[in-house]
Amino acid sequence: DYRQMFDAERPNLVCLAMRQPATHLEIAVAAMEHARGIFMEKPMTATLPQADVLCRAAEEKGVTVAVAHNRRFDAEFCRAGALVTSGFAGGIREINQHGKQDARAGGEDMIVLGTHDFDLLRWWFGDPVWCSATVTVEGRDVTRADVRPGREPMRVAGDTIHAQFGFQGGLVARWSSVTTRDDWTTRRLQRERWAFEILGSQRIVAWQSGIGFRFLDSPFLLHPDGAADWQPLPEPPGGHAGGVAPGADLIAAVESGRPPRCSGIDGRWTLEMLTAVYRSHFTRSRVALPLDDRSDPLG
């Protein structure tokens, strides 16, 4: 019984590593009776309303919450972020993100792995201001009757999602996870499908799971032979924050009073973006962010 454990051990730090987000809120709130810091698996809760409750409880009790969106702690992503946000690619024209698109394509891909992509967008480009999305299953629009348990213990809907997020200044990022009529999501490939491209006015920066980061020294994808090749990213001129162990970051945040690299508010934002995808689909409209209606669209 975790309550007995918390009462007996009175831990200063707690790690919630379970992949059952529906259990996170209850355990985290119980841990807050003793803990000064909590490190949580993502998604931090099963729904946005639960995340609101958790963040409010943490604020009231003065507990630091960190969420395991691990790219923020990874040296390669820190280096790439420093380059992109300092103008290495020029002005950012658009961003295209692709989910892992395995047997979990669609809604499950979005909540299990797409939340990492959503977190990266906020980390590098700030808070989104709107979302527009479509969610389909077997080629037709998803209805609430299509909500189902995923292969992992999370509620999901749809086998294909196309979502757009708008940011200040007119930047638009697209995220997709697609099921096709052939074996795209089921056949074994020698490459991962999980990837993204950041198209700038001077260069293109790309990442693919299993390969890492590369860039083209050109804003164009295609070139005459030898005119431009994919290259490893250089070091940013001003350096970068570097990677850090999440536990060490949480301890430093608790001791200093600063937010951790991926805070509870950051973790909640990924759920807000996910909620906005379903809300936009069900209302057939572009929705403003932050959301006014914070209820669970899959409930």
- In eight-state DSSP terms, residue 88 is T
Q: Which three-class secondary structure state does DSSP give residue 131?
A: strand
pLDDT value of position 228: 80
Q: Which homologous superfamily does the CATH classification assign to the domain defined by 2-70+244-261?
A: NAD(P)-binding Rossmann-like Domain (3.40.50.720)
Mean pLDDT of the chain: 95
Q: What does residue 95 show for φ and ψ, rounded to 5 degrees?
A: -130, 135
pLDDT band at 241 (very low <50, low <70, confident <90, very high): low
> Looking at residue 239, what is its pLDDT?
64
Q: Show the CA angle centred on residue 100, arms to residues 219 and 94, nearest 5°.
A: 25
State whether residue 136 is helix, strand or coil. strand
Who contacts 269 (Cβ-Cβ below 8 Å, separation ≥6)?
Answer: 118, 119, 122, 127
Q: How many angstroms separate the Cα of 22 from the Cα of each of 119, 170, 276?
A: 20, 35, 19
- Token match 């201001």: residue? 129
What is the structure's pLDDT at 242? Answer: 73
Mean pLDDT of 201-207: 98
SS3 category, 266: helix
Round to the nearest angstrom and report the end-to-end CA distance of the chain: 29
Instruction: Cite the DSSP H helix spans in the chain.
Output: 2-9, 24-31, 48-61, 75-85, 107-109, 115-125, 246-256, 264-283
Rounded average pLDDT over 211-234: 90
How far apart are the C-alpha atoms of 180 and 186, rounded to whole Å? Answer: 10
| Cβ neighbours of residue 174 closer than 8 Å, sequence gap 6 or more | 94, 95, 96, 97, 162, 163, 164, 165
Lowest mean pLDDT among 50-64, 106-120, 154-168, 181-195: 181-195
pLDDT digits (tens, 9 = 90+) for 44-72: 999 999 999 999 999 999 999 999 999 99
Please check the confidence at residue 183 and state whether its pLDDT lies above 90. no
β-pair type (92-98, 195-200) = antiparallel
* Chain segment 247-261, per-residue pLDDT in tens: 999 999 999 999 999
With beta carbons less than 8 A apart as the criterion, state whether 215 and 197 touch: no
For the chain, what percent of residues have pLDDT higher than 70? 98
Which region holds residue 226: left if phi is over 0, alpha if psi is between -120 and 50, else beta?
left
Tokens of 40: 């949580």
